Structure 1
Amino acid sequence: MKKVVFFGAPDKSHLLLVLGKLLTALERKVLIVDSTFAQSMQGYLPQLEFGCSLREFEGIDVATGLITSAQLERSLLEAEGEAAYDVMLLDTDHTEFVKGRELPGYDKRVWCSNFNRMGMQTNANLMQRLCLHEAEGQPLTFYKLNAPTLPTAIPESYIDSVLPQQAVRWEDTVFRFPLDERDMSVELDNQHHGRIDIRRLSGAYRRTVLDMLQQLFDCDSKAARRGWARSRKACVSGNFCERR
């Protein structure tokens, strides 16, 4: 099973659901784990069920309310464990689930940032608590994800300067999601309709997501585009986009 962890303060729930939807369209069995303090993933599910739970949504298995990996293991007992999945996407903004010596067990690691001042401080504290010096084979590689990006006099390099000096090697690729009212509208619509409809997402959003499929999940460009086309078609036919 390929495991990808997304660290950081910004809300990543909608993005992970979109990625999960595209991977499902490519016939991969996907598990998304929300191990954040805010539990924002709950806002996209048709029924709010706070607490630890594992449920199916749009062909994706979504685990919410989890803080530790032991809680996930208990939730997966009825689902044949991790072996039941091809891909696991972990969203976390703390270090109770994974840190230090466990990090090399993840195939890809994505560091998520924005220019929110409090979010930058939260990320700096998180980086410090990750104990990256404990990881074997350091320095560990991380991709950067900036969302949203918007015109500002503050350079992106300032985000890195706030982080503590750690054993990190940044990948050359940076995933950027420009602030776009269409994308914000789609996120809100998907929340209130209990679905993941990708049809009205902006071209910039689409290009970045397709790039992520290629960089993080070993999809070639043709497969990535095929996943997008299948997901759009499913939304048109109503296979995945009806409230459950």
Structure 2
Amino acid sequence: MKRWLFAGVSDKRELILYICKLLTAAGQRVLLVDRTVESKYQYLARNREGVLPLIEFCGFDITNGELEASEEGTGLPEAIHINAESYDYLLYDYELDQPKAEGLCSQMDQIIWVTTFDHYEVERSADWFRQWLRSDPILAGVLVHPVLIRTVESYLTANYMMSLTEDLPIEWNTDVACIPWNELNTAIHYENGHEHMLHIHRITRSYRRALISLTVQLTGWTRSEAKRAMRSARRRAI
């Protein structure tokens, strides 16, 4: 079982949901653990109360993190109501206002930092990493995959964004993933939320290519395997 942690101030939901969709389309069993403030994924449920103990969404499962502490005492959860070992992938959407559990990093196969170009979001995330490193020095040198979402044409570049974090003793993956954005992707983003769907078949070609590249980077699949998963996900979404 693989565990991936997505951290950052920015709203990461759409990116993570699309990645879950691609993994599921490839035949993987996926659980998305909602560790966001106020359980933001609850609104994917179609009931008014938005109760999210465990829901199935677009072929994968989502839980709100009502889980017991692991036997190792690290503070990272293992499932009470579900058997986490029955999944191939556990993806955590971890918001920066949540407490940083001791030993969190050591249990993760991948750590992904997600941010927009927004100055506050970049600086706030960098501050969080600094606090995390002070509280748990063993994290120094940990490999983190940076992902820039909702990117637009600008003199602001990925290299510039990464320069704002150059003081951190973190090993950044040099292949910075950039997820492009435009008016069409914005419209689909809003429609996904209101329709409780994932219209992955309608996003722009550049968005799809970026998702494929990121999936290859995180999973170790070949590009052909990732493209096959994308084709399958698009067919199922129609």
TM-score normalised by the chain length of structure 1: 0.83
1:117 aligns with 2:113: no
Deviation, structure 1 residue 96: 4.2
Aligned-partner SS, 2:46: coil
Structure 1 residues 63 and 126: alpha-carbon distance in aligned structure 2, compared to 1, 3 A threshold: same
1:226 maps to: 228
Deviation, structure 1 residue 49: 4.4
Deviates more, 1:142-151 or 1:130-139: 130-139
Alignment of 1:84-123 (within 5 A): 84-94=86-96, 96=98, 98=100, 101-123=103-125
1:10 maps to: 10
1:26 aligns with 2:18: no
Counterparts of 2:166 and 2:47, CA distance in 1: 40
Supply the AA of the counterpart residue of 2:184. R
Q: Aligned Cα RMSD in Å?
A: 2.7
Q: Of 82, 85, 89, which residue of structure 2 is paired with 1:83?
A: 85
1:240 maps to: none
Aligned-partner SS, 1:177: strand
Supply the AA of the counterpart residue of 2:58. E
Counterparts of 1:200 and 1:194, CA distance in 2: 15
Deviation, structure 1 residue 158: 4.0
In 1, are the aligned partners of 2:42 and 2:50 still within 8 Å (CA)? yes
Supply the AA of the counterpart residue of 1:18. Y
In 1, are the aligned partners of 2:116 and 2:151 still within 8 Å (CA)? yes
Unaligned 5+ segments in structure 2 are: 70-74
TM-score normalised by the chain length of structure 2: 0.85
Q: Of 131, 134, 159, which residue of structure 1 is paired with 2:133?
A: 131
Identity %: 23
In 2, are the aligned partners of 1:114 and 1:159 still within 8 Å (CA)? no
Counterparts of 1:232 and 1:154, CA distance in 2: 32
Q: Of 217, 227, 236, which residue of structure 1 is paired with 2:219?
A: 217
Supply the AA of the counterpart residue of 2:202. R
Between Structure 1 and Structure 2, how many residues are aligned? 233
Counterparts of 2:192 and 2:198, CA distance in 1: 5
Supply the AA of the counterpart residue of 1:79. I
Structure 1 residues 20 and 127: alpha-carbon distance in aligned structure 2, compared to 1, 3 A threshold: same
Counterparts of 1:204 and 1:46, CA distance in 2: 31
Supply the AA of the counterpart residue of 2:24. T
Alignment of 1:160-175 (within 5 A): 160-163=162-165, 165-175=167-177
Deviation, structure 1 residue 48: 5.3
Supply the AA of the counterpart residue of 2:87. Y
2:154 maps to: 152
Deviates more, 1:35-44 or 1:202-211: 35-44
Unaligned 5+ segments in structure 1 are: 237-244
